[in-house]
Amino acid sequence: MSHRIQITLEDHLWEFVQTIPKNKRSQFLKQTVSDQLTRIRRQQAMEEMDILRSKLKPLPGCAEEWIREERDGHL
């Protein structure tokens, strides 16, 4: 479902929007808002992961050792 909104743009933004063909402006603005929301959500997810990561205790060893142990255990 789509919703009609009214927004206020600064002059430099409006000048740019006017360079976009009239029949493409809505799609451009929808895509721009969608892209920005995706960036915000990714940033929030990264911040949440950093918080969780800071609460975890380090595991002994390293990935290389774990892979070798896994591989050698299945021979």
- Count CB neighbours of 61 within 10 A: 10
CA 40 to chain centre: 6
Residues 25 and 17: beta-carbon distance below 8 Å: yes
Q: What is the tens place of the pLDDT at every residue in 11-67?
A: 999 999 999 999 999 999 999 999 999 999 999 999 999 999 999 988 888 999 999
pTM of the model: 0.68
Confidence class of residue 73 from pLDDT cuts 50, 70 and 90? confident
Here the tokens at position 12 are: 């430099």
